[in-house]
Amino acid sequence: MSRARIERIKAAFARDQRDDPPAVHPGDIPWRYEAITPEWMTHILCRGHAEARVVSISLDAPDSGTSNRRRIFITYNEAGQALGLPRSVFCKATVDLVNRILLSTSALLSETSFYNLIRPQLAIEAPEALIAAYDPDSFASIVMLKDLGERVTFCSHRTIMTLERAKDQMALLATLHGHFYRSPQLDAGLAHLFRYDHRFAALDRDHDFRTMCETGLRAAADIVPPRLMAREAAVWPATLRASARHGELPLTITHGDVHLKNWYITADDRMGLSDWQVTSKGHWSRDVAYTIATALTVDQRRLWERDLLAYYLDAFAAAGGEKIAFDQAWHNYRQQMLTTLAWWTMTLTPLGDVPDMQPRDITLEFIRRIATAMDDLDTLDSL
């Protein structure tokens, strides 16, 4: 990221702090949650219902990581109440300066593109946005989602996965990947999206990705298989080669951060996928490897991974992809464990302007699962 961009973001943030502009009109982007007014919410939530009005809002407790998240509770006039409009919404925003700087590296463009351009084309279980917008000058942003509330259960590393749930994950990914596989949209309406290897390079350039990954791997040495840890020096060069494969293989739209915490379970036991802020153009194999490695226990993965990959390949072809030989797919799957590991060794030891992203116990469990998969699959030798 250029120094000029950082200084521009800092100047815009200082201006927002000084002026504290309220969000009132439809095109306004709230610079903080307290700037949201009932008038602005009326434009978003009562669209098409001239008689309905939002009369008041209240904010739930803040929750911050790579983005600043809050639930907003809404009170309507009688007309709004009669229409059964949403009583709460879930929002992601860039309220803090560090979040504006971090997510200015394409993440805001990626997530707003998903909700505005990609999500409407897909029949998948994923959140739906009421508004998804950002200011390319200040990088203030907001993504307002229909509140899933108590209708779903978000997963964690302790979630008990079944084979049917894992197959449902594969089916959702296949629908996404198959629909956009080699699509003309990738070079037209979605040409602005990062390719995964370019996103990877930007992270290294702007946030010293290599140092975070290498430091994180050493910090996790006690849970990394000894055979893999003995080849520590080979991990980063191999990770670069695995990332580069996204510039060599056929492209589709990928989620990019499909760890188990970003999945949820609906009341009828279907798997849904949230948090689309690193949506990229890339090869399907990374999403599949990342999902299987983090969602399943080591024993489950060893037992199911070949069957799950075969199940995915059939669903992928049916969704608009192509028939891919299993051995070729297996090779790609093995390679992308490296880019999956990087996403979590980075998380263990954030540096500089990168906020703490996940609780340590979750990070260590995912690193253990991924590193064990790499050791089982001889991933370093696959490149």
Give a three-class secondary structure readout of the chain: CCHHHHHHHHHHHHHHHHHCCCECCCCCCCCCHHHECHHHHHHHHCCCCCCCCEEEEEECCCEECCCEEEEEEEEECHHHHHHCCCCEEEEEECCCHHHHHHHCCCHHHHHHHHHHHHHHHCCCCCCCEEEEEECCCCCCEEEEEECCHHHEEECCCCCCCCHHHHHHHHHHHHHHHHHHCCCHHHHCCCCCCCEHHHHHHHHHHHHCHHHHHHHHHHHCHHHCCHHHHCCHHHHHHHHHHHHHHHHCCCCEEECCCCCHHHEEEECCCCEEECCCCCCEEECHHHHHHHHHHHHCCHHHHHHHHHHHHHHHHHHHHHCCCCCCCHHHHHHHHHHCHHHHHHHHHHHHCCCCCCCCCCCHHHHHHHHHHHHHHHHHHCHHHHC
pLDDT at 166 over 90: yes
For Cα atoms 262, 265, 271, give the angle at the middle one, nearest 5 degrees: 75
pLDDT (average), residues 144-171? 94
Residues 21-40, mean pLDDT to the nearest whole number: 96
Please tell me the distance from the alpha carbon of residue 11 to that of residue 76, in angstroms, as a whole number: 37
Return the exposure string of 271-287: e unless at least 16 CB atoms fall within 10 Å of the residue's CB, then b.
bbbbbbbbbbbbbbbbb
Helices 337-348 and 209-219, axial angle in degrees (round to 10): 80
Q: How far apart are CA 362 and CA 155, in angstroms?
A: 11
Cβ atoms of residues 263 and 126 within 8 Å: no
Q: Is the pLDDT of residue 352 over 70?
A: no
Tens of pLDDT, residues 220-230: 999 999 999 99
The domain locations on the chain are 3-146, 151-382
Question: What confidence score (pLDDT) does residue 150 get?
Answer: 75
Contact 9, 101 (CB under 8 A): yes
Q: Residue 10, exposed/middle/buried by CB under 10 A (0-12, 13-18, 19+)?
A: middle
- The C-alpha atoms of residue 208 and residue 373 are separated, in whole angstroms, by 26
The closest alpha carbon to 148, from 62, 59, 86, belongs to: 86
**pLDDT band at residue 63 under the 50/70/90 scheme:** confident
Handedness of CA 49, 55, 61, 66 (dihedral sign): positive
Phi/psi at 276 (nearest 5 deg)?
-100, 30
What does the pLDDT read at residue 350?
A: 64
- Kindly list the distances between the CA atom of residue 179 and the CA atoms of 1, 118, 295, 312, in Å, as whole numbers in the listed order: 32, 10, 24, 14
- The string of pLDDT tens digits covering residues 75-93 is 999 999 999 999 999 999 9
Return phi, psi of residue 100, to 5°.
Answer: -60, -45
What is the value of pTM for the model shown? 0.93
Q: Does residue 273 contact residue 119 with C-beta atoms inside 8 Å?
A: no
- What is the average per-residue pLDDT within 296-315? 98
pLDDT at 66: 78
Q: Tell whether the model's pLDDT for residue 120 goes beyond 90.
A: yes
Pair 287, 302: CB distance under 8 Å? no
The side-by-side arrangement of strands in the sheet containing 152-154 is 152-154, 263-266, 271-273
Q: Which CATH class is domain 151-382?
A: alpha beta
pLDDT class of 65 with cuts at 50, 70, 90: confident
What pLDDT, in 10s, does the model give residues 231-254?
Answer: 999 999 999 999 999 999 999 999
Q: Is the pLDDT of residue 353 over 70?
A: no
> Chain-wide mean pLDDT for the chain?
94
Q: Tokens standing for 219?
A: 């910090």
Instruction: Let me know if 49 is exposed, middle or buried by CB neighbors in 10 A (0-12, 13-18, 19+).
Output: middle
